[in-house]
Each structure stands twice: as structure tokens, then as C-alpha cells.
């Protein structure tokens, strides 16, 4: 068996992450067999490259290889494309036609986006995998074929099976050996290496100077989610190389090329539709609304904690209603949030504005268990209008000071993306 590094050089595979190496090692092990293989992975991770690796290392390497995108062929013609048809089988069938399973006999066929295959075609494919036979469209005569099938998909086929969109028996036939290619966000150590390769190759091909990234720009590049994976990374690398007027790319220049709609806010604490913290529900909220909701939820939690502590003091602190040793009632305490003891009831968040400030009442001193009958000063009413801009600025300055100006660590601590942090620093003119 060839060395894994030699295979990488031969097929231009860049990276040394564990997930990538494991997937490539599995592909090399099963390549000499005739087992059907299912390659799993998100769009743009390089599934077709793996199909070429498997074919080139198999005993069929000197025979034909063909890649078929099942999602790109209309459902009305895919049977004819794969299995052929007889003359007069349908309107426009003016001649006999060989399908891919006949022309690639003895070789390998790669069925990309197999999850998009129509149910009727799935039946035909299942018969090929089980018996090695197929029937042309418009014919009743079965034909033999010896083709190895490698399938790939970026959808959850088991979920498709549960929804009745994919045959369960076909799934298990294809899934004899699954190979999962990790997404780029799980291969962070490979991202800059890939980016550098794409920019240098593109610059050489177009006879222009290659670009370089500053250290901070590298960090932003690596932390980006890359939903389009390697395909998206290559597109961005080529765009920057040809469109940027500078050859040294800093953070501000880099983020101009990163789609804002694809930025990751998954680390930011927001409220889900169920009322708890989660990754859902931020898509339709502005950052100001997110801050409002987080602050209000934190205040509610604090009020609940205060009520719990008061209850503990009254019941477990050596005082009882019969002994008359209860601490003074908090008649002058006004909660900024309405309390609803029912966990299933929704929380009604108040509207915060200059005309409707949150009222916080502070006690001059805490209750004393030693002499609960002591008088205490009346609560002082402090009216304060919470300004999100000031709170944001203060939090950002504290985070930057805490992490000694390291923006990446500060962004992680704040629970926001680096892109948002850079924009806020510029917006508030914060010196870091």
C-alpha cells in the first residue's frame, strides 16, 4: 500500500488533520476491494477527489471511471442516462443508447448527490448492486454489468429514509463502507495552508504577486466557519488575490471579502424560542435586541436568586413565623422584572427606553440575623437608563484589558465573533 503522504502529493490533497488522515487511510484500505462505498461530507469538502483516490488504487484503475451528478440530471431522463434505452422507448428516443452502467463495464462509477436520486431509479440501482443486472428503458431483457459503485451525499440519508425519500435497503447496500470527510471548520490547522496554496497557484497562473496575511488576519481566517468548505475557501482566496490592491492583507481588508451573512455567532449567548440559552433564534434579532434579552434574562435570574435566599433565611436561618424572628419585610423593594412562579409561563420582557427606565432600589445595608428588629434606612430609589452602547463599550474595554489586548481571546470571552469585536472597537474608537 502506498504511503499516505505520497497519495496526498499525487492527488493534491493538502492538510494533516486527524479527521482527514483517518478518512484517507480508510479509503486506501478499501480501495483494493470491490465493496460499495458511501462517502459522507458537507458540500465542498472534496468527496469526488476521494472517489478518484479509491479508483486509482483499485484493480479497476486501468478501466473507465465516470462521475455522475444525480442531482443535476432531470428525473425524467436519469434512468436513460444510467441504464440506457431502446429505440422508441419514449418520445425523442430515435435510436438505441447505452447507459453509463454499460459503457463503464469493468470500471468505477461515482454517483454524487445520490440522495437526490428518484425512487424509481433507486430500485434499478438496487438491482444492479444485488445481482449485477440492469434493464434498459423500454426493454425487457436484463443485461449483466461489472461496475463498482462509489456514492456520495451531503445529506443525512437515514433521515431521508425516515421521511420515505430514500430506500432503506439501498442505503445499507451503499453503506457497506462509509467514509466521512470532516468539514473545514474541524480542520483548523489545515485552513491557512490551503489558503496559501490557492493564492500562490492563482497568482502564478495569472502572473501577479501573491498576497500574504498578517497574524491577526490569519486568526480571523482560521476562526471563520467556511460553510462552503474548501470550495468557498478557494473562491475567497482567488477574490482577494485579484481584487485587493495591497499584497499584505490585514483584518479589515480580509473581512471585506467574507460574507457577513455567513459569519459565525454560535458562541454568542442568545435566547432560543424556548426561552433558554441556545444557538437558535439570533438570525432575526439585531445585536441591540440580543443585548437587551441577555441583560433582562440575567436580571430575572438575579431576582429569582434573591427570592430564594430570602426564603432560606426565613425558613432555615433559625427564625420562624411563630417565634416572631422574621427579618423585616421587603415592602420597599421593587423588582425590575415581573416574577412569574410558573416555569411554563412565558416571561414578558419590559421595553427599555429613556422614557421607561429600569428602576433599581438599593438598601443601605444588608439584613442582620443578630438583631432583626434594628431599624434600617429607607431604600434609595435610583433611576438609571441602561444605554447599550455604554455597556458594550465598558464590557469590551474590560475584556481587552483582561486579556492584555489579545482580541481573539477577548472575543471568545465576550461570546462574540472576532469580526463583530473589530467592528465594535472601530465604532467606539477603543484604544487596545
pLDDT per residue over 184-199, tens digit each?
999 999 999 999 999 9
Pick the CATH number of 4-182 from 3.40.309.10, 3.40.50.300, 3.40.50.1820, 2.30.110.10: 3.40.50.300
> What number of residues does the chain have?
432
Q: What pLDDT does 397 receive?
A: 86
CATH 1.10.8.60 spans which residues of the chain?
Answer: 186-262
Q: What is the pLDDT of residue 429?
A: 83
Distance separating alpha carbons of residues 64 and 134, to the nearest angstrom = 19
Strand-pair partners of 362:
380
Contacts of 418 (CB under 8 A, 6+ apart): 219, 220, 223, 251, 407, 408, 411
Residues carrying CATH 3.40.50.300, the chain:
4-182
Give me the DSSP letters along 220-266: HHHHS--TTHHHHHHHHHHHHHHH-S-SEE-HHHHHTTS-GGG---T
For every one of its 432 residues, what pLDDT tens digit does the chain have, with 9 covering 90 and above?
468 999 999 999 999 999 999 999 999 999 999 999 999 999 999 999 999 999 999 999 999 999 999 999 998 899 999 999 998 888 888 888 999 999 999 999 999 999 999 999 999 999 999 999 999 999 989 999 999 999 999 999 999 999 999 999 999 999 999 999 999 999 999 999 999 999 999 999 999 999 999 999 999 999 999 999 999 999 999 999 999 989 999 999 999 999 864 444 343 444 334 433 334 344 444 555 556 556 666 766 777 777 777 777 666 554 444 444 444 444 444 444 444 444 444 445 445 445 555 444 444 444 444 454 444 444 444 444 456 777 788 888 888 888 888 888 888 888 888 878 888 888 888 876
Q: How far is CA 276 from the centre of its chain?
A: 20
CB 386 within 8 A of CB 418: no
Given a contact cutoff of 8 angstroms between Cβ atoms, the answer to whether 210 and 239 are in contact is no
CB atoms within 10 A of CB 50: 25
| Cβ-based neighbours of 185, under 8 Å, separated by 6 or more | 225, 226
Label the pairing between strands 358-362 and 177-180: unpaired
Which residues touch 388 (CB under 8 Å, ≥6 apart)? 288, 291, 292
Instruction: Indicate where the chain has its CATH 1.10.10 domain(s).
Output: 389-428
The answer to whether the CB of 265 falls within 8 A of the CB of 282 is: yes
CATH of span 186-262: 1.10.8.60
pLDDT for residue 409: 83
Query: Mapping DSSP to helix (H, G, I), strand (E, B) and coil, where does residue 407 land?
Result: helix
**Do residues 39 and 181 lie in contact, with contact meaning Cβ atoms separated by under 8 Å?**
yes
pLDDT, residue 221, reads 95
Task: State the pLDDT at residue 168.
Answer: 96
Q: How many CB atoms lie within 10 A of CB 261?
A: 7
The pLDDT value recorded for residue 21 is 95
Helix H or strand E segment including 411: helix 407-414
Class level of CATH domain 389-428: mainly alpha
Q: Show the cell assigned to 312.
A: 432560606
Q: How far apart are CA 330 and CA 349, in angstroms?
A: 23
- What is the Cα–Cα distance from 167 to 119, expressed in whole angstroms? 7
d(CA 236, CA 227): 12
Instruction: Name the nearest CA neighbour of 25 among 183, 177, 186.
Output: 177
Amino acid at each position: 500500500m502506498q504511503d499516505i503522504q505520497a497519495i496526498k502529493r499525487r492527488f493534491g490533497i493538502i492538510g494533516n488533520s486527524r479527521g482527514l488522515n483517518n478518512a484517507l487511510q480508510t479509503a486506501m484500505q478499501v480501495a483494493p476491494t470491490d465493496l460499495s462505498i458511501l462517502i459522507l461530507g458537507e458540500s465542498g469538502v472534496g468527496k469526488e477527489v476521494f472517489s478518484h483516490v479509491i479508483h486509482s488504487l483499485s484493480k479497476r484503475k486501468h478501466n473507465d471511471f465516470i462521475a455522475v451528478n444525480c442531482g443535476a440530471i432531470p428525473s425524467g431522463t436519469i434512468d436513460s442516462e444510467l441504464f440506457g434505452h431502446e429505440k422508441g422507448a419514449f418520445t425523442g428516443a430515435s435510436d438505441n443508447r447505452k447507459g453509463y452502467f454499460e459503457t463503464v463495464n469493468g470500471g468505477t462509477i461515482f454517483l454524487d448527490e445520490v440522495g437526490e436520486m428518484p425512487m424509481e431509479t433507486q430500485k434499478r440501482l438496487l438491482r444492479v448492486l444485488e445481482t449485477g443486472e440492469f434493464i434498459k428503458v423500454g426493454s425487457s431483457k436484463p443485461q449483466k454489468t461489472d461496475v463498482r459503485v462509489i456514492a456520495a451525499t451531503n445529506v443525512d440519508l437515514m433521515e431521508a429514509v425516515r421521511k420515505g425519500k430514500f430506500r432503506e435497503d439501498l442505503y445499507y447496500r451503499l453503506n457497506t463502507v462509509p467514509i466521512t470527510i470532516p468539514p473545514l471548520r474541524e480542520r483548523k490547522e489545515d485552513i491557512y495552508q490551503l489558503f496559501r496554496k490557492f493564492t500562490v497557484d492563482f497568482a502564478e497562473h495569472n502572473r501577479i504577486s501573491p498576497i500574504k496575511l498578517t497574524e491577526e488576519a490569519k486568526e480571523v481566517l482560521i476562526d471563520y466557519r467556511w460553510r462552503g468548505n474548501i470550495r468557498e475557501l478557494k473562491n475567497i482566496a482567488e477574490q482577494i488575490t485579484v481584487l485587493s490592491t495591497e499584497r499584505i492583507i490585514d483584518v479589515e481588508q480580509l473581512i471585506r471579502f467574507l460574507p457577513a451573512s455567513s459569519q459565525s455567532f454560535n458562541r454568542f449567548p442568545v435566547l432560543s424560542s424556548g426561552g433558554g440559552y441556545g444557538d437558535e433564534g439570533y438570525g432575526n434579532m439585531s445585536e441591540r435586541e440580543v443585548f437587551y434579552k441577555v441583560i433582562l434574562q440575567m436580571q430575572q435570574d438575579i431576582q429569582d436568586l434573591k427570592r430564594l435566599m430570602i426564603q432560606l433565611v426565613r425558613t432555615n436561618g433559625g427564625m420562624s413565623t411563630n417565634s416572631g424572628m422574621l427579618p423585616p419585610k421587603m415592602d420597599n423593594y421593587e423588582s425590575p422584572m415581573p416574577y412569574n412562579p410558573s416555569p411554563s409561563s412565558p416571561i414578558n420582557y419590559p421595553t427599555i427606553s429613556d422614557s421607561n427606565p429600569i428602576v433599581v432600589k438599593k438598601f443601605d445595608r444588608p439584613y442582620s440575623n443578630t438583631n432583626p428588629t434594628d431599624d434600617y434606612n429607607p431604600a434609595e430609589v435610583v433611576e438609571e437608563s441602561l444605554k447599550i452602547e455604554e455597556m458594550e463599550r465598558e464590557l469590551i474595554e474590560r475584556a481587552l484589558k483582561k486579556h492584555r489586548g489579545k482580541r481573539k481571546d477577548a472575543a471568545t470571552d465576550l461570546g462574540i465573533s472576532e469580526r463583530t469585536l473589530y467592528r465594535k472597537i472601530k465604532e467606539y474608537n477603543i484604544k487596545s
